[in-house]
């Protein structure tokens, strides 16, 4: 009686182990159609004379068939020792004693009523444990919406550790904008995995429940054993909310969005584009008024201004380097006396937030110089989203008119237009165009007064308001 119970328990335990693989860490989506239930691992390792199982974790299928190097299951002893494990609904093959001859490509073919799909697992049966780690799976680059869920997976066969106190490990790290690797943030959680068949196979999920701007960028899966380090990168890119982008005016006719943008730019420029002369002076009067008010500011206010190292962070990408270094930076710093912090950005906008967020804390305002012509509408949207997520919403200097959007508008026109509407845009025309500088300076905080405020007050107040009008 007790013997029977014991046998039942042991059998139950080993069944649960092997069947468990395809029910652990499955994707949490609700769809019922045929699909993988977890990341399909294409490479598997086993050891001679040891237990080994391989899997094809799927749901919504009617049948699964297996092939080894094109030969259909069941296999004769000369082909493979692996047998089906029916309790796992044919998703698992296993052998108690693997042999070198079991090495090969195992393909599962699964079908529902209408579709058939396959997955191939390359199984390598090794003679003995390896020294260096071997990669088995790493997620591909991902495109994730803000607020969406992120899940990355990495799995590897680690080497046998020579030293008891130097255990092998596998973990995720974030690659910072400056190229160094850092720890994950508290919202980026790691879930470590192990296998029941081979204890040298370890893995790790990196999960983020709600993706925010900080989560974009590159992650590295670091596998470490016996002083050998294996690194694999995955980059998480922005994805705009594609499907919901179908707006009422996305029918394909020319969009009013160009007009909208020009309107927004004109708004930022206040009345600069108006033909009437006296209106053209308005922004400069506003600026002069602000400067006068600043001169009356309290010492406490002045101290607050000086708390930050810089007044303006100016960022730009390679195409605009010449213009920014040659005209924008010197004019802001020398003519208008801003304390300027210069930060070049990579052309791809995916990581702008992380590049800028640290530097932004040292500055009172941000100016982002953008050449829309080098970007697709999607990239432009990404760029604006990354900038908008910063703690200080930047002033965006547009070096060209925004591109015409017609075909692409379907996908992202609407979100782009609303993003542009919410941004502070200033259109660049020419280095000597005063209206541009006035608009830019109106959008920025005033630079601190250089001289001792007590003396400066009397001497410079008239000159100051005049300079503003020059």
Of the CA atoms within 13 Å of residue 83, those in its CB half-sphere come to 10
Task: Walk across the sheet containing 83-84 and list its strands.
Answer: 52-55, 92-95, 83-84
Chosen residue from 21, 75, 80, 104 binding ligand NAG by CB under 6 A: 104
* x/- map, 218-257, ligand NAG, by CB under 6 A: x-x----------x-x------------------------
Minimum distance of ligand NAG from residue 258's CB (angstroms): 36
Based on CB atoms, which residue is closest to ligand NAG, 310 or 336? 310
Name the segment binding ligand NAG (CB under 6 A); options: 110-118, 303-311, 392-400, 403-411. 110-118
Minimum distance of ligand NAG from residue 32's CB (angstroms): 8
**What number of H helices and E strands is found in the chain?**
11, 24
CA-to-CA distance for 218 and 28, rounded, in angstroms?
24
E strand residue ranges, 239-322 = 310-317
Chosen residue from 76, 180, 253, 452 binding ligand NAG by CB under 6 A: 180
Strand partners, 202: 156, 194
* x/- map, 202-221, ligand NAG, by CB under 6 A: ----------------x-x-
Minimum distance of ligand NAG from residue 132's CB (angstroms): 16
Chosen residue from 22, 34, 312, 380 binding ligand NAG by CB under 6 A: 34
Based on CB atoms, which residue is closest to ligand NAG, 71 or 334? 71
Interhelix angle for 352-360 vs 377-388, to 10°? 30
Residue 437: both structure tokens together: 């500088």
Helix (H), strand (E) at residue 469: helix 453-469
Q: By CB under 6 A, is residue 31 in contact with ligand NAG?
A: yes
Chosen residue from 122, 135, 295, 410 binding ligand NAG by CB under 6 A: 122
Based on CB atoms, which residue is closest to ligand NAG, 327 or 357? 357
* x/- map, 131-170, ligand NAG, by CB under 6 A: --------------------x-------------------
Minimum distance of ligand NAG from residue 131's CB (angstroms): 21
Minimum distance of ligand NAG from residue 368's CB (angstroms): 18
Strand pairing class (58-59; 35-36): antiparallel
**Residues 139, 145, 150, 152, Cα dihedral to 10°:** 10
Name the segment binding ligand NAG (CB under 6 A); options: 28-36, 394-402, 413-421, 434-442. 28-36
Q: By CB under 6 A, is residue 467 in contact with ligand NAG?
A: no
Interhelix angle for 434-443 vs 277-295, to 10°? 40
- Which residues in 39-68 contact ligand NAG (CB under 6 A)? 63-64
Task: Walk across the sheet containing 181-182 and list its strands.
Answer: 142-144, 228-238, 217-225, 169-175, 181-182
CA-to-CA distance for 57 and 62, rounded, in angstroms?
13
Name the segment binding ligand NAG (CB under 6 A); options: 30-38, 137-145, 164-172, 413-421. 30-38
- Burial pattern 38-69, b for ≥16 Cβ within 10 A else e, equals bbebebbbbbeeebbbbbbbbbebeebebbbe
Chosen residue from 4, 13, 78, 179 binding ligand NAG by CB under 6 A: 179
Minimum distance of ligand NAG from residue 227's CB (angstroms): 18
SS3 225: strand
Number of residues that bind ligand NAG (CB under 6 A): 35
Q: By CB under 6 A, is residue 76 in contact with ligand NAG?
A: no
Asked whether 343 and 313 are in contact (CB, 8 A), the reply is yes
CA-to-CA distance for 122 and 68, rounded, in angstroms?
10
What are the residues binding ligand NAG (CB under 6 A)?
A: 27-31, 33-35, 63-64, 69, 84, 86, 89-90, 104-105, 112-115, 122, 151, 175-180, 182, 218, 220, 231, 233, 358
């Amino acid at each position: 009686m007790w013997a029977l119970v014991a046998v039942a328990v042991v059998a139950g335990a080993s069944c649960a182990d092997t069947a468990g693989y395809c029910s652990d860490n499955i994707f949490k989506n609700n769809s019922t159609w045929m699909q993988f239930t977890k990341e399909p691992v294409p490479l598997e390792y086993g050891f001679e004379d040891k237990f080994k199982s391989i899997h094809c974790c799927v749901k919504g299928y009617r049948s699964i068939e297996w092939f080894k190097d094109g030969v259909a299951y069941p296999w004769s002893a000369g082909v493979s020792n692996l047998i089906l494990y029916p309790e796992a609904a044919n998703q698992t093959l296993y052998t108690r004693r693997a042999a070198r001859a079991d090495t090969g490509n195992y393909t599962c073919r699964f079908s529902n009523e209408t579709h058939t799909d396959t997955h191939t697992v390359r199984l390598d049966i090794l003679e003995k444990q390896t020294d260096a780690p071997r990669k088995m799976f790493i997620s591909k680059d991902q495109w994730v919406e803000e607020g969406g869920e992120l899940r990355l997976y990495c799995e590897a066969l680690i080497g046998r550790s020579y030293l008891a106190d130097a255990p092998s490990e596998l973990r995720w790290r974030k690659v910072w904008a400056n190229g160094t690797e850092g720890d994950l943030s508290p919202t980026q959680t790691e879930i470590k995995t192990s296998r029941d068949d081979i204890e040298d196979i370890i893995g790790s999920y990196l999960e983020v429940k709600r993706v925010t701007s900080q989560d974009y960028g590159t992650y590295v899966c670091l596998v470490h054993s016996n002083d050998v380090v294996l690194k694999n990168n995955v980059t998480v890119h922005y994805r705009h909310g594609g499907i919901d982008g179908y707006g009422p005016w996305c029918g394909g006719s020319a969009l009013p969005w160009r007009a909208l943008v020009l309107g927004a730019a004109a708004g930022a420029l206040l009345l600069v584009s108006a033909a009437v002369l006296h209106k053209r002076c308005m922004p400069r009067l506003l600026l002069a008024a602000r400067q006068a008010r600043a001169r009356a500011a309290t010492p406490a206010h002045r101290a607050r201004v000086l708390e930050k190292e810089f007044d303006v962070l100016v960022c730009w990408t390679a195409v605009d380097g010449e213009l920014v270094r040659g005209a924008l930076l010197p004019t802001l710093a020398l003519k208008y006396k801003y304390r300027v912090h210069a930060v070049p950005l990579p052309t791809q906008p995916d990581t702008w937030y992380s590049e800028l967020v640290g530097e932004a804390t040292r500055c009172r305002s941000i100016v982002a110089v953008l050449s829309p012509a080098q970007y697709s509408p999607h990239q432009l949207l990404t760029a604006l989203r990354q900038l908008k997520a910063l703690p200080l919403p930047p002033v965006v200097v547009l070096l060209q008119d925004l591109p015409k959007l017609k075909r692409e508008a379907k996908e992202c026109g609407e979100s782009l237009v609303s993003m542009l509407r919410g941004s502070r845009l200033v259109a660049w025309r020419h280095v000597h165009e005063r209206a541009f500088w006035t608009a830019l300076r109106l959008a920025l905080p005033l630079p601190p007064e250089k001289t001792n405020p007590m003396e400066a007050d009397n001497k410079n107040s008239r000159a100051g308001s005049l300079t503003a009008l020059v």
